[in-house]
Structure 1
């Protein structure tokens, strides 16, 4: 099992490049950055975690810009979005950004995506809450065409383009891994249909054995080999016994939570996490 972390890249927390270097030095395999383009001041949509929305949601840097700084400062650590709110993004621009980041980082990018939960945020981008998953799926499929074909065309309800050339192509072939976030059966169906991995959250009563069994049922039904759909668990517990259950269940990667704190507070926490890796 591989070990990484996720981080909301804020302007007041540890610098993302410094964090990536410190993680690489301690043997972490990956760093994933969260995304919110903005937070509507209305706050009509309740926070899924309950209570007030944490400050870090208001202050995140763009994940692709922050990942570029992390890529330039490191050599081996894998770098991903965790998650990218793809319905809120233009797919042609995002495909170009990812191709550029993947090629310039030497093929180290992983694309974890989700449909989002904040109704007002997505509406500001012209995205309807009821059709957000359909829009996410369509944009992913359109981006895959742009990454893999010399002249790409796509016609859907949300994305339409005819004979476009998008270059450079990603360093990873045929494209960077696409990981889908979420825990529902609908998400798992999408994972086995067209994605390269599952990205569930541990804080939503995720049971590793039950989750892997559920994934296998859908993979078997779709004719997918389980080795083709590795599982990365977001917000994994920092407990050795619980992590053993994740390993025994066949989880491929776990991501620990790095808080939006200064460097002198984050580095000791990374040392503690590193002991779990050892």
Structure 2
């Protein structure tokens, strides 16, 4: 199936904030709903003013009727998977068909990693925790005696009438193969279109080897866009921080400098089979309303 035949959806990701979590989050949630934007995604960042993602999903669900709400991404190892399953089940009951969970292995910054203590190797804990979450969301009663978690006749209610798709992030080969083996979709960060297309192939091959399938349009990426009012100092800062995160790649290839470049990148990603997008401002926009207006005018029409 070609990219043109797949369902392209483009949402907004909560990025750096300037006026404070309450004001910026309210502007974002209400602005996305009012403009008919497909989805809004919240990051998991303890050491910033970002609102905790699952709390943010609950608050946003209560303010909206149509906006889909995702975590981009929430760190799973270090959280109680039974509690996470109950949180997701509750959110799905309150906002049916609007909750989009994506999990990750660890925080983006090393300084936050001690906030998520794990009982064993982080990757192994993630895989078992994901299994526990999925089983609790789909089975009437779960007994699980694993390496890290033990459940006896555990029940999560109300279980979603329709199973939630559980997506994973990650870019290294082991993470991509994990998506194929265990997840329903993939949400990348800091990747080029060529890298994403290659990763998609790795995931699909891993899924096939495991006797399962990741749906054709369940491959996505975050996309950083510089706000039109970004200062030169802010641009230099974001390029430097991006280079630190991906020292092997020119940071200018990972960040769209304007809406025209963002639209071009979306097209290149779609050509490689990536059809879900979370567009984030690379720096705090001077006006979220202006950023949303630009998004609605330039990127939202690219949806199919």
Aligned residue among 138, 148, 153 for 1:163: 153
1:226/1:268 CA distance change after superposition, 3 Å: same
Matched, 1:30 2:39: yes
- Counterpart of 1:55 in structure 2 is none
Displacement of 1:18 after TM fit? Answer: 3.3
Q: Is residue 2:206 matched to residue 1:184?
A: no
Quote the residue 1:123 is aligned against: 114
Secondary structure of 2:62's counterpart equals helix
Correspondent of 1:4 among 7, 11, 17: 11
After superposition, the C-alpha distances for 1:164-218 in whole angstroms (9 at most, x for unaligned) are: 22211124x22x11110111221121111121101111x2445243333333333
* Contact 2:43 2:53 survives alignment (8 Å): yes
CA RMSD of aligned residues (A): 2.5
Distance, in Å, in 2 between the alignment partners of 1:181 and 1:30 is 17
Contact 1:101 1:109 in 2 (8 A): yes
Separation in 2, partners of 1:9, 1:98: 25
Pick closer, same or farther for the CA change 1:106–1:260 going to 2, 3 Å.
Answer: farther
Q: 1:215 to 1:165 in 2, by over 3 A?
A: closer
Equivalent residue for 2:228? none
TM-score by length of 2: 0.75
Q: 1:9 to 1:139 in 2, by over 3 A?
A: farther
Residue 271 of structure 1 corresponds to 293
Q: By how many angstroms is 1:120 displaced?
A: 5.3
In structure 2, stretches of 5+ residues that fail to align are: 1-7, 225-255
Corresponding position of 2:74: 84
Q: How does 1:1-278 map to 2 (within 5 A)?
A: 1-8=8-15, 12-13=20-21, 14-36=23-45, 38-39=46-47, 58-117=48-107, 118-119=109-110, 121-127=112-118, 131-171=121-161, 173-174=162-163, 176-201=164-189, 203-205=190-192, 207=194, 208-227=196-215, 230-236=218-224, 237=256, 238=259, 239-258=262-281, 261=284, 265-274=287-296, 275-278=298-301
> Where does the alignment leave 5 or more consecutive residues of structure 1 unmatched?
40-57
1:118-170 superposed Cα distances (whole Å, 9 cap, x missing partner): 45534344326x71111111111111121122221111121111112221112
Per-residue deviation, 1:95: 1.1
Normalised by the size of structure 1, how large is the TM-score? 0.81
Once the two structures are superposed, what CA deviation does each residue of 1:245-265 show, in whole Å capped at 9, x if it has no partner? 112222121111146758x71
User: How many residues are paired up?
Assistant: 254
* Secondary structure at 2:44 match in 1: coil
Change (3 A) 1:159 1:228: farther
